[in-house]
Amino acid sequence: MNSFRSINHTMHSIRLKTRHKMIAEVERNQVEMTYIDHKMMLDIDKFGLASQQMLVESMNRDKGQIARMTNRLQKQELIEKKSNPEDKRSVQLCLTEKGHQVLQNLESVESQMLERMFADFSDDEAAVLKKLVEKIDRNLGSGDLSR
């Protein structure tokens, strides 16, 4: 059990270090953004044009949360709303030029971190680690952790 606790502490340390670097990049870009805002921007970028309903489904959030995040990112000029040519009653979300730039900067920082983290890993070591981390993720599941 002690080695499991040590692994957990190490994973926590890695999370804090990577989170610190991403937060520093967000601050450098002079925006206010949470992890979930970043995820929303990634999804919008992936979809090209996204409806709020698409984001509700892809992010597993309710409409109110998506609306609040949309407003926060729109106020910072990271995303914008465009009229849906197929349905004039609805809008589609897309990244602004500023949003693309911030996302590109965050991706660059993430790539640098990944290169550094796995610099001396062989392909076999990376495959084993991937399998083990996926197993941890499956064991945790998405439900109640009190089981």
Q: Residue 143's pLDDT band (boundaries 50, 70, 90)?
A: low
Phi, psi of 82, rounded to the nearest 5 degrees: -125, 145
At residue 2, the pLDDT reads 80
pLDDT given at position 141: 87
Count other C-beta atoms under 10 Å from residue 126's C-beta. Answer: 11
- Picking from 64, 66, 59, 57, the residue whose alpha carbon sits closest to that of residue 93 is 66
- The reported pLDDT for the residue numbered 122 is 96
What confidence tier does 142 reach under pLDDT thresholds 50, 70, 90? low
Tokens representing residue 138 in the block: 């499956």
pLDDT at 91: 85
**pLDDT tens for residues 65-121?**
999 999 999 999 999 999 877 777 788 999 999 999 999 999 999 999 999 999 999
Does the predicted model carry a pTM greater than 0.85? no
Give Dmax (Cα) for the chain: 60
Check pLDDT > 50 for residue 32: yes
Contacts of 83 (CB under 8 A, 6+ apart): 91, 92
- The string of pLDDT tens digits covering residues 1-17 is 689 999 999 999 999 99
